[in-house]
Structure 1
Amino acid sequence: MTTFKRRLVFVVLLLSLILGLAACLPAPEIPINETPSPTPSTIPSGNTTSAPTDEVHPVEESVGAEASEEIIIVPTLAPTATPGVIYDVVNQVVEATNLYQTRFLNLSVADWINLAISLGLVLLMLTLVSRLIFMVLMKIARRSATPYDEQYLKAIKPFLHWLFSVIILFIATIRLQFLSPVLKQWLGQIYYAAIITLVSICLWKLVDTIRLWYQEKTATLAERSRNEAAFSLGERAMRTLIVLIGLLIIFNRFGINISALWTAIGIGGLAISLAAQDTLANMISGVIILFDQPFRTGDRIEIQELNTWGDVVAIGLRSTRIRTLDNRLVIVPNRSISNNQVVNYTYPDPRYRIQTEFGVAYGSDLRLVRQVITAALKDVDGILPDKPVDVLFMEWGDSEMVLRVRWWIESYVDARRSTDRVNDHIYQALEEAGVEMPFPTMSVELMNRDQEENPSSNERKDDE
């Protein structure tokens, strides 16, 4: 079944429901074209002064009732029951054919003719006007510089068709004079809620289009993953705002006291905030982290006070998930991150300088050592060629001269593997160059107890 057929079935079922309700509910007692006015026959005989009071009293009661109901029910504008030219022509035709008193299913011949006119109006608008409007919108979208306008219209096309259908049904239903005011009021509220719902869905689809635009603007996957947390938070906020505004408009239409609802929400929010202070503190810290962006998803960070470091997997409102090098997932509350120092090894520049130390024997040629190490590290995989390799003489050791080698790599992720490769090349290069790398030694002199007590006797033995 095509979309048009589904909408047509929906229209027929809805009109059938309206007919059933109109047949069950009593028709309006006062004709629309007539204006009731007091006549002498309505005034009781013998009491001429009480007649105005009897006529005005129901009006005062209705006004008082409306004033009291305004506290709970927000007044809505009722459709104006003013017959148009088509109604006048139909009534004249019916009166000319003497079918004015003929009724079927509690409806007159004029009512059936007007119902057929409304149904024809609905079919005409659905088949021609809605398609024409959509074609014009598509032409305007194709002339746009970006493809997102056309994609957005294609995404909301079925909802726009339903929106046009509801609006057309609203116009066609309101013009039916045989419907009671109560039924018209409820149908108007239902149409209003449907229109607000469809508009909210179109705005929801607009957020999806914004996401497509964001994914295209962030060319690389790494850049997209860094901003994904903040964008997801903004996306959820926009969707929540759309739903909240739509519900508030519908509540206001159906007479729900929004002020009292906001008061209840405020009191409940205060109670929740007092009971969940830590959770709220973590959520506030999470929002600050998402928008301040000291680190992003995929960055390698270290929280020194917590002795935690690894790659950021996800940033949530309450906590941040960090995966360590041994594949452990550490969940850190955002409040703890905000209150401690965070070292980011990836952002804004992922390049990282690492170092290693070793010792050479006293008497070694330091110039030769520097040349050998610098030449050996040129071929090491992972060392940035545009950055210098520093060989520094740091201190005098107990049995060696301590040197420090510093070099740059592309990312901190490769730090340990790069250190392993550099140490291996340094050792092989110094071995081939004949540079001695001493290990710590200790000279121990052993003496027996007699020698300690009589050192002079030992000297005499040595003289003999």
Structure 2
Amino acid sequence: MINISQFILNFFQRESTILALSRFGVFLCFIFLSLLAGRYTPTFVRIITQKFAPQQVASIYNNLIDPLRNLFRIAGSLILISLSLVWIQDYQSIYIFLSPIVDLAVIISLAWLSSRLFQQFIRAYGIELVRKFGREVDELLLVFETLANVIIGFIAVLAFAQSQQFNLVGLLTGLGIGGLAVAFAAQKTLEQLLGTIVLYLDRPFVPGEYIRLQKSGQIPEGLFGRIESIGIRSTKIRTAAKSTLFIIPNSILANLEIENITRGKKVMVLLYLDFLDILQEREQALVQQVIVESTNSLFGIDPGSTSITFLNHKDEEKSSRTRVTFFILGSSENSLQLRKRLLELANEKISRKLMNHGIEFKLQDPTIYVESPVTI
């Protein structure tokens, strides 16, 4: 009798082991399929876009989806892997270990994808939308982009807290009530911390850049030097002449006029326009007028820097080339990218105007950008 009971017990234990192994096998298969299917996420998004906006599908895909296809693949794969966790839900120890990691990865990938999508939307369509409302395109777009990233990050934190059944709203409410008492007790420290947050968000300088501080009540003689580091309480600046180290509280820096010398750089742009016919003097004057009007009206173009040179080809073909050079100004990589996008729109505007006057040309690719950093 004992042997029969032992046999039955061993049989059920063996069956549960087989069931567990089969579930893990299915789980691993679904992970493999998730990685495989995730590679086709951009195609799936394109099909959905084509269903709801068949006329604009090519433009939307090329401007928004195609530049971010790798991010779409990562996000799609992680979402499918998250859905695959249902196969090991009965095994609590493993599920509890893997679930938060996968949830965090999914939320980070979706937040990063949303941020980049918004950035691409601003570059592709935001400029035209601003112009349709009769507004000039300026750095406000970049500020709006930063604000959107902060909102996306905040939503991502709330989403992860909610997925883990963590009452983040209640915690923030409790901290808000208790924070009032702390604010009165550590007002000076909080002022310095707020100055640090302002510097990190606005980023008027980063370590390694040269800045000049104007004369003020806190700095009577002014200051010119190189940023060594930005700490929680203060910023260290190495002076250029004496090589001494100035340590200035961030709360003071946040209220000073700062001249960033390193970012005072220009980028020279070289455009080559190949015309199908040799241009006469009247046509050259028209081309020059159209180019100057289109470039000087752009935000971020160095006024008066546009130079136009007409070069006639010496071959047997009746054609001519025009070289256009000018400088664009930018304080950061994002602002330079914005100006380059504005330049692309200006090229389209130039093309339309000249075509209306019966002048055909081909714009040589790629456009040449030459950085011209400031000499310190």
The normalised TM-score by structure 1 is 0.35
User: Larger radius of gyration, structure 1 or 2?
Assistant: 1
